[in-house]
Amino acid sequence: MAVLDRTRTPDAGVVVRDLTLAYGSTVVQHELSFHVRPASIFVIMGVSGCGKSTLLRHMIDLEQAAQGDITFDGQRLWTENVAERRALQRRIGVLFQSTALWSSMTVGENVGLPLQLHTRLSAAEIRDQVAFKLALVGLAGQESRMPSELSGGMQKRAGLARAIALDPDYLFLDEPSAGLDPITSQRLDSLIMNLRDALQLSVIAVTHELPSIFTIADDSIYLDNESRRAIAHGDPRALAANAEHARVRAFLNRQSVDASTRAEGDGPESPARSEVL
């Protein structure tokens, strides 16, 4: 478990350097480099099939890339030291796309299991922690329900409660608002922002939901599925207007790429924070 007010070092947050993602000989993304600042929300965006989820799977150590490096607060993810690696993994919370709640356990057991396995808390304190985490996501008193009895939005929130069970420093969200109605999706967005503020979390979210991106993102990266590179990096609101690449503007403005190319040259390109990595 981490202490909330973390000291800020130059390496603070998550740093990805020259990461090349590949399945066999097929390269999914070339040489990704970016920095997720502590206590900020970083969005990985791009069209379906661009490698967003693959990048996320690498960042949470479910896969290891042949080339490149990822550090969390200066600590390398892919070290040979297994104990260090597991310790770092425990500081990472993940909300999977399908929520991945264990269907044979109640909601309370789902949230309590990481605490049982990784802490030496007493049963009573685990019960308190579970009640608190569920209250944080607005599911207070739902401990004894089974995941299958919850609606889609409630399942997402239960998944979120499980992801923050161990008070992680880094929270990864895979398509958090996929399959949710606009109101539930908006509630989830504000919940994520509240949790970031309250828990001082570094949040890394993979999503292509535009309203969500514009609401939560402090910073973002756009993975292109044609050049297989990150072609934009910065605040998505600025990128929507000023991104250098037509495909990024088309994505963020929900236009066809042609329409976005035609609009090119309407005024000077602002340097904002748009850059090619």
- Interacting residues toward other proteins by CB under 8 A: 1-5, 102-104, 120, 122, 124-125, 128-129, 131-133, 135-136, 138, 140-142, 144, 147-148, 167, 194-195, 197-200
Min dist CB 191 to other proteins, Å, is 8
Question: Which residue, chain included where needed, has tokens 């990472």?
Answer: 92
Min dist CB 183 to other proteins, Å, is 17
Q: Which is nearer to other proteins, 65 or 158 (CB)?
A: 158
Q: Write the DSSP symbol of residue 149.
A: G
DSSP states of 56-105: HHHHTTSS--SEEEEEETTEESS-S-HHHHHHHHHTEEEE-TT----TTS
In angstroms, rounded to a whole number, what is the distance separating the alpha carbons of residues 141 and 130? 10
Sign (positive or negative) of CA dihedral 135, 141, 146, 150: negative
Min dist CB 135 to other proteins, Å, is 4
Cβ–Cβ < 8 Å for 161, 111: yes
Q: Which is nearer to other proteins, 99 or 260 (CB)?
A: 99
258 CB neighbour count, 10 Å cutoff: 10
Rg (CA), the chain: 19
Q: Which is nearer to other proteins, 63 or 197 (CB)?
A: 197
Min dist CB 105 to other proteins, Å, is 9
Min dist CB 136 to other proteins, Å, is 5
Q: Which is nearer to other proteins, 23 or 102 (CB)?
A: 102
In angstroms, rounded to a whole number, what is the distance separating the alpha carbons of residues 207 and 246? 19
Min dist CB 132 to other proteins, Å, is 4
Q: Which is nearer to other proteins, 64 or 144 (CB)?
A: 144
Query: In which element (H, E) is residue 30 found?
Result: strand 26-36
The CB-side HSE value for 207 (13 A sphere, CA atoms) comes to 30
141 token code pair:
């008193």
Q: Which is nearer to other proteins, 48 or 104 (CB)?
A: 104
Min dist CB 124 to other proteins, Å, is 4
Q: Which is nearer to other proteins, 133 or 162 (CB)?
A: 133
